[in-house]
Amino acid sequence: MFRIINIILVSVMLALPIKAEDKNLDDKEHQWSFFSGTFDFSDDGARATLFGIQHQNESLFRESFLGTISPITGFMITADQAKYAYTGIQAHYKIGALNIIPSFTPGLYGEGDGKDLGHIIEFKSELQLSLDLFSNSELGFSYNHLSNASIGDKNPGANSYMFNFMKKF
């Protein structure tokens, strides 16, 4: 059921029209997010520090009934050499200086000396809350869950939290 919902969600978002507007060349279209936190904080035996980076190209956004949707790509690594490279979509909702940013990203996971999540393909669902610091930067906190949606023999999942700094260039 989880897989069917995700396939439908991604298909709907890809079918939405791209917002067409001319951008000023001085506009900052690329946002980079740098984050650090705790990988799998809910499993004492697998808990590890994580570091990561994520890119968002704001010129590729789509307006939809779900809000502003844009593609993201990123990479994270843990102190145990577990690695996750991903690409997917995120929505952006703004309430004053507060930003609410849910995302969904399928990716490739390598356990290194870290936790065996049961499959090389993992799906990350994340919720990020951030505050606008200046016109080009945000400071935030996020929570995510990695899962293989039971496509592997086992699916222990991993819950992580991170502190984020986002900067537009």
State residue 4's pLDDT score. Answer: 55
Mean pLDDT of the chain: 87
1 or 51: whose pLDDT is higher?
51
Q: CATH number for the 34-168 domain, one of 1.10.10.350, 1.10.3720.10, 2.40.160.20, 2.60.40.10? A: 2.40.160.20
Domain ranges of the chain: 34-168
State residue 3's pLDDT score. Answer: 58
Q: State the average pLDDT over residues 136-152.
A: 96
State residue 58's pLDDT score. Answer: 77
- What is the chain written as a DSSP string? -HHHHHHHHHHHHHHSPPP--PPPTTS--EEEEEEEEEETTT-TTT-EEEEEEEEEEGGG-EEETTEEEEEEEEEEEETT--EEEEEEEEEEEEETTEEEEEEEEEEEEE-TTS---SSSEEEEEEEEEEEEEETTEEEEEEEEEEE-TT-SS----EEEEEEEEEEE-
| Percent of residues, the chain, with pLDDT higher than 90 | 71
3 or 115: whose pLDDT is higher?
115
7-63 pLDDT tens trace:
555 555 454 444 434 334 345 689 999 999 999 999 988 999 999 999 998 788 888
Quick one: pLDDT band at residue 169, thresholds 50, 70, 90? Answer: confident
Q: State the average pLDDT over residues 107-119.
A: 97
Task: Please give the structure tokens belonging to residue 134.
Answer: 């200046």
Residue 122 amino acid letter: E
Quick one: pLDDT band at residue 166, thresholds 50, 70, 90? Answer: very high
State residue 38's pLDDT score. Answer: 97
State residue 95's pLDDT score. Answer: 94
State residue 81's pLDDT score. Answer: 97
